[in-house]
Amino acid sequence: MLERLPELGRVLDALGDPRGLHVVGGTVRDLLLGNPGTDLDLVREGPVEDLAGELADRLGGRAVLHGRFGTAVVTYDNDKHLDLIQARRETYPEPAALPVVEPGTIHDDLARRDFTVNALAIPLPDGEVLDPLDGRADLGQQTIRILHEGSFLDDPTRIFRAIRYESRLGFRMDPDTERLAREAIEAGLVRRLSGPRVREELVALLGEPEAATSILRMAELRLDQAVDPPLRAGLNAVQRLKRLGELAAEYEVDAPPWRLALETLVEPGQRVEALALTKRDQQLVEGAPGDARKLVEGELGGAELADLAGRHAPDAPLLALAIQDDPALRDWFERLRHVRLDVTGDDLAGLGLPEGPRVGEILGELRRRKLNGELDGREAELDAARGLIADA
């Protein structure tokens, strides 16, 4: 079966003797499902640092070690990578905290995982599937099942992951898993996660093609309200998300799908600093919902509309269009957003205007008039500039 992993042959050659290594986790799950394999995750009992270095050398790549947890990432051919992990046992000192890690066996390593369908391994070079937790049965029944009652308490990010796999694979949590997810949410466990961990999960969840299904599931389980900041998932968000996807393609808008999806879940005026986004992402996620509402409600002239649309562009005007189709907003995407003055500060100097704040003011006024359709072409702009300079 492993021959279906396109990269494995080369990695096996580079390894020389691959015994003691196992292909694990999502790679095995996807192989058994017949889905195209994604990343290659390899586990061995024992340290991985030296092996990672050798493997990187032979693949002409490089190894980055994360010593504390006995993991290494080997990157090669620019865009390919594989994870090498030392088999480990994990214990959680308290709910939602990071685990304490110690070396373990391959069986410990499978037992520390999130769901049965991910607790699978295949020994290299190519052996029988190790399946101590009946993951294959759950694959057959399209079921997402945690490995023990305390799994979501240990690691509430698994609730996001469960939803992500449900949506991506068309699976469903078994009744006990779903009940325990609801209980963990109800008990406020999600709020104990650090902002960056929640952000990572939201970015992963909302960045997948089936994000709409996940949003409905978040609402059903009330996971949306359990996050800091509270989100509002539901049919409204899903409708907007669908429109956003279409509009983003139509106008070739350069915005990551997860961010647009998040903006359908954030209420106008909601601060999202808890998520520790980059500054620009935070500004857009906080600004776009409110500005979109103003864009939808306002009867705005060209210049006003361009100012408001531009503040949190392209997200705010796209979100506004997704809420309500509007010719003025379409005009912004098709025309106004590309409008540039044909004159510059140098032209104003050539007309005798000395350097100073007036230059910016006059350029601003020219731009306003141009956006309102009052100026057509360089000559008209120069004429208007002469008038404004004379009025000064």
**Least distance in angstroms from the C-beta of 94 to ligand CTP:** 16
The tokens for 371 are 């956006």
Angle between the N-to-C axes of helices 327-334 and 315-323, in degrees from 0 to 180, rounded to the nearest 10: 150
The residue (of 26 and 95) whose beta carbon lies closer to ligand CTP is: 26
Buried b (16+ CB within 10 A) or exposed e, 213-243: bbbbbbbebebbebbebebbbbeebbebbeb
Does residue 88 touch ligand CTP according to CB under 6 A?
A: no
Figure out which of the listed residues 22, 44, 88, 113 binds ligand CTP, where binding follows CB under 6 A. Answer: 113
The residue (of 164 and 312) whose beta carbon lies closer to ligand CTP is: 164
Figure out which of the listed residues 118, 167, 214, 264 binds ligand CTP, where binding follows CB under 6 A. Answer: 118
The residue (of 81 and 294) whose beta carbon lies closer to ligand CTP is: 81
**Least distance in angstroms from the C-beta of 118 to ligand CTP:** 3
**Least distance in angstroms from the C-beta of 321 to ligand CTP:** 31
Q: For strand 71-76 and strand 121-123, is the pairing parallel, antiparallel, or unpaired?
A: unpaired
Figure out which of the listed residues 114, 178, 224, 315 binds ligand CTP, where binding follows CB under 6 A. Answer: 114
Q: Considering CB under 6 A, how many residues would be counted as binding ligand CTP?
A: 12
Does residue 38 touch ligand CTP according to CB under 6 A?
A: yes
The residue (of 114 and 291) whose beta carbon lies closer to ligand CTP is: 114
In sign, the C-alpha dihedral spanning 201, 204, 207, 209 is negative
Which range in 74-82, 110-118, 131-139, 222-230 contacts ligand CTP by CB under 6 A?
A: 110-118
The residue (of 71 and 264) whose beta carbon lies closer to ligand CTP is: 71
Cα separations (Å) of 95 from 53, 115, 156? 35, 18, 8
Which range in 36-44, 281-289, 297-305, 307-315 contacts ligand CTP by CB under 6 A?
A: 36-44
Figure out which of the listed residues 26, 53, 245, 290 binds ligand CTP, where binding follows CB under 6 A. Answer: 26
User: How far is 125 from 123, CA to CA, in rounded Å?
Assistant: 6
Figure out which of the listed residues 109, 155, 224, 263 binds ligand CTP, where binding follows CB under 6 A. Answer: 155
The residue (of 113 and 243) whose beta carbon lies closer to ligand CTP is: 113
User: How far is 374 from 368, CA to CA, in rounded Å?
Assistant: 9
Mind giving me the DSSP string for 160-196?
A: HHHHHHHHHHT-EE-HHHHHHHHHHHHTT-GGGS-HH
Cα separations (Å) of 391 from 198, 264, 353, 375? 56, 47, 12, 18
The residue (of 155 and 263) whose beta carbon lies closer to ligand CTP is: 155
Cα separations (Å) of 268 from 93, 286, 321? 38, 7, 16
Does residue 158 touch ligand CTP according to CB under 6 A?
A: yes
The tokens for 359 are 């230059």
The residue (of 201 and 224) whose beta carbon lies closer to ligand CTP is: 201
**Least distance in angstroms from the C-beta of 385 to ligand CTP:** 57
The residue (of 42 and 362) whose beta carbon lies closer to ligand CTP is: 42
User: How far is 264 from 97, CA to CA, in rounded Å?
Assistant: 29
The tokens for 163 are 């939803």
Q: For strand 40-44 and strand 21-24, is the pairing parallel, antiparallel, or unpaired?
A: antiparallel
What contacts 168, CB < 8 A, 6 or more positions away?
Answer: 208, 209, 210
The residue (of 130 and 343) whose beta carbon lies closer to ligand CTP is: 130
**Least distance in angstroms from the C-beta of 343 to ligand CTP:** 52
Question: Between 49 and 68, how does the x/- string for binding to ligand CTP read (CB under 6 A)?
Answer: --------------------
**Residues from 290 through 349 that contact ligand CTP (CB under 6 A):** none
Radius of gyration of the chain (CA): 27
**Given the rule CB under 6 A, which residues bind ligand CTP?**
25-26, 38-39, 41, 113-114, 118, 155, 157-158, 161
